[in-house]
A and B are shown apart, each in its own frame.
Chain A
Amino acid sequence: MIEFKLPSLGADMDQGKLLEWKVKPGDVVKRGQVVAVVDTSKAAVEVEIWQDGTLLEQLVPIGETVPVGTVLATLLQPGETPEQAALHKREAPAARPAPKPAAPAAAVAAPSAAPLAQRRPVSPAARKRASELKLDIDKVAGSGPHGAVTIEDVEKAAARAAPAPADRYAEMRKAIAAAMSRSKREIPHYYLSETIPMQRAAEWLARENEKRPVTERVLIGALQLKAVALALAKAPELNGFWLNGAFQPASGVHIGIAISIRQGGLIAPAIHDVDKKSLVELMRALGDLVSRARAGSLRSSEMSDPTITVTNLGDQGVEAVFGVIYPPQVALVGFGRLETRPWAEGGELRAVPLVTASLSADHRASDGIRGARFLAELRERLQHPEEL
């Protein structure tokens, strides 16, 4: 039997609300198929499954908010019968914690399995937390050993008791606040910037676009993305995650694209394997992503696995942007506006379109010299647009 659990769709997500089931019991599902839509605090996300199977039972009803890791549904493995699955079935699905009998008095584990005294068992940590939250401990149901109230029970009860979130915008603001505060609290950022001449790239792109049908025209943003992806090969310590006190390089280049939401707020879903996509493919992916992000229909894999983020505030008119890294990523690349300015080259002063590229990087994972090498490589790549 396969347990389909609510995945974490980003470092700041700890629960999600089930909005829709895309499959029903008896349906055959394939790896990568969208099976449900879940509302994180940031967006309605299409959640994919990563195993083949047949849906057996939906365990969480639509509209319910459950923590990350909760079993949403069970599935039969290919070739498995419901009877076989029943044998493996756990005593109770995690989503529906039935009142459990006291833990079996395993000879080793509980030397005094005798019934506890009349007083209702509440763990010391739970009692302390409840008093901090000014919560009536007698109204909190217990899920610990002997039905004891645990700190988790208290925190869940407090979350339920909290007034319903005002609106999606406020929720998103809160999520951004949490992620960005964590970033600035934990990540020692360093910042580098480089002015990049864009004349060759702009001219090449204009020529290319003339040859293409309107639907296949490429914007300079796609060029910049591809250049970032290729330049990362020279600085792999910028592409990955800082987890458990160590850098973990990512196996692919999945660039998170910072997209502002019209009503306010920000989201950074990934385009996968940017280094392997052609410019036309990238342009299409970018357009698709932006429109789906704004419509609130992103996929779980896009939300959960960006390995680096790119932000482009050029169209808002700023010269340069020094961003805040989205943990557990270790770097963020920013592009300012494309602007024609004086530029000295080969002893001559000319008017050249320039862009300021910046790098915010996690000093725990890389040093400035690597960041500098990355920006130099990025500049170099953008001088050879035909190779992108």
Chain B
Amino acid sequence: MGRLSYREGMRQALREALAGDPRVFLMGEDVGRYGGTYAVTKGLLEEFGPERVRDAPLSELAFVGAGIGAALGGMRPIVEVMTVNFSLLALDQIVNNAALYHHMSGGQFSVPLVIRMATGAGRQIAAQHSHSFENWYASIPGIKVLAPGTVEDARDMLAPALADPDTVVIFEHAQLYNMEADVPEARNTDIRSAAVRREGKAVSLITYGGSLPKTLEAATQLAEEGIAAEVVDLRVLRPLDMATVLASVRKCRRAVVVDETWRTGSLAAEIIARIAEEAFYDLDAPPARVCSEEVPIPYAKHLEEAALPQPAKIVAAVKAALGR
């Protein structure tokens, strides 16, 4: 298949979805003429025309609502909310409508909608544009939440998301778009399971999305010091594949969860709670987490770096858990 960027992987998936199913259309701010704020949808307007690639007005509440309506009407909309920061304006549509219709209609309606959004910090675009709220979405019953952390997953997770009868929210970390990798031919993947990206036995590093490359970097540094860290990529944030997580924790007996959301109420907090509930007697050290500091993400580069999870912080947390 050759070398592909995360952005190109996602674009390829969108193109295949548009070409393969006439019910699929794209909608969002600047997805058409501008080609997407992160250039993911570049060229798709020219290829598929304005009926299938639709620029939306600057009202997240309105166009996510329109997407829900279209999904109820038999379409398979893919709505791009530029970033998670702006998705807060559409939370009511997502929480009260997309997630609840199946329940409220006694199973008569499903909302087969896919919502894509960029998330995360690290690009010096200041506090209002650097949020990570995927943990909020991952707490909502009725939707599924994905966080592809590899180029392959960026390309392969969209198709099963579209095939799912429920609303699926896909988080794309903004720092991953330029990441390149050699990937095999597109293949069927699932949106149920976590993946072990690196095997080890000293500590289980559990992470997802934008923190995955940092965690893998930390694992490489740890390996140089003789510490074999296992890296589990959650991939799917709701529902969580705890079987894979717990198997890794039981093997390594120590867990460090790496998550760019703020520490309090983070996804890491939920995962550690479940580890404590289900694997307490297998633990050899208190579980630890590396999250963002509880501050608005700073603009200044050195402060922003200090506020976010970094390989050095992950290495330090692992050593503390090992008592080294």
Contacts and interface: CB of A to CB of B under 8 A. Distances in A.
B211 to A, nearest CB: 13
Contacts of A124: 280-284
A128 B290 contact: no
A86 B22 CA distance: 70
B281 A128 contact: yes
A125 B253 contact: yes
Nearest to A100: B323
A69 B282 contact: no
Interface in A120-162: 123-128, 143-148, 150-152
B199 A123 contact: no
B316 interface: yes
Contact of A106 (B282, B284, B320): B320
A108 B319 CA distance: 12
Nearest to A153: B284
B284 A151 contact: yes
A110 interface: yes
Interface residues of A, number: 24
Contacts of A244: 199
A128 B280 CA distance: 10
A145 B313 contact: no
Interface string A80-122: 0000000000000000000010010010111100000000000
Interface of B is mostly: mixed
Interface string B301-324: 000000000000100110111111
Given A69-B226, A124-B280, A148 B320 contact: no
B127 interface: no
Contacts of B316: 106, 108-109
A103 B323 contact: yes
Interface centre among A69, A103, A145, A150 (most CB of B within 10 A): A145
B285 interface: yes
A58 B283 CA distance: 35
A123 B283 contact: yes
B319 to A, nearest CB: 7
Contacts of A148: 285, 323
A148 B324 CA distance: 12
A103 B320 contact: yes
Contacts of A151: 253, 284
Contacts of A111: 263
B323 A143 contact: yes
A109 B285 contact: no
B288 interface: yes
Contacts of A127: 281
State which size class the interface on B falls in: 20 to 34
Interface in A307-333: none
B199 to A, nearest CB: 6
Nearest to B315: A109
Interface in B77-108: none
Given A145-B323, A151-B253, A108 B281 contact: no
Contacts of A128: 281
Contact of A125 (B263, B283, B320): B283
Nearest to B324: A103
B201 to A, nearest CB: 11
A123 B226 contact: no
A321 B236 CA distance: 52
A154 to B, nearest CB: 10
B284 A123 contact: yes
A124 B282 CA distance: 6
Contacts of B320: 103, 106, 109-110, 145
B284 A125 contact: yes
A143 B284 CA distance: 11
A352 to B, nearest CB: 52
A157 to B, nearest CB: 15
A126 B290 contact: no
B80 to A, nearest CB: 34
Interface in A351-380: none
Nearest to A128: B281
Interface in A285-316: none
B281 A125 contact: yes
Contacts of A150: 284-285, 323
A69 B285 CA distance: 22
Contacts of A144: 284-285, 322-323
Interface string B272-287: 0000000011111110
A125 B313 CA distance: 26
B313 A108 contact: yes
B3 to A, nearest CB: 24
B282 A125 contact: yes
A244 B290 CA distance: 28
A144 B320 CA distance: 9
Contacts of B313: 106, 108-109
B221 to A, nearest CB: 15
Interface string A240-269: 000010000000000000000000000000
Given A125-B281, A125-B282, A150-B284, A109 B323 contact: no
A362 to B, nearest CB: 20
A125 B281 CA distance: 5
A65 to B, nearest CB: 20
Nearest to B256: A109
A126 B284 contact: yes
Nearest to B280: A124
Interface string A162-191: 000000000000000000000000000000
Query: Which 9 A-B pairs have CB atoms at the shortest separation, nearest pair first?
Result: A108-B313, A109-B320, A145-B323, A109-B317, A144-B323, A106-B316, A123-B284, A103-B320, A109-B316
Given A100-B323, A150-B285, A151-B253, 6 more contacts: A109-B317, A124-B284, A143-B323, A145-B286, A150-B323, A244-B199
30 contacts: A69-B226, A100-B323, A103-B319, A103-B320, A103-B324, A106-B313, A106-B316, A108-B290, A108-B313, A109-B288, A109-B290, A109-B320, A110-B288, A111-B263, A123-B253, A123-B285, A124-B281, A124-B282, A124-B283, A124-B284, A125-B253, A125-B283, A126-B284, A143-B323, A144-B285, A145-B285, A145-B320, A147-B323, A148-B285, A150-B323
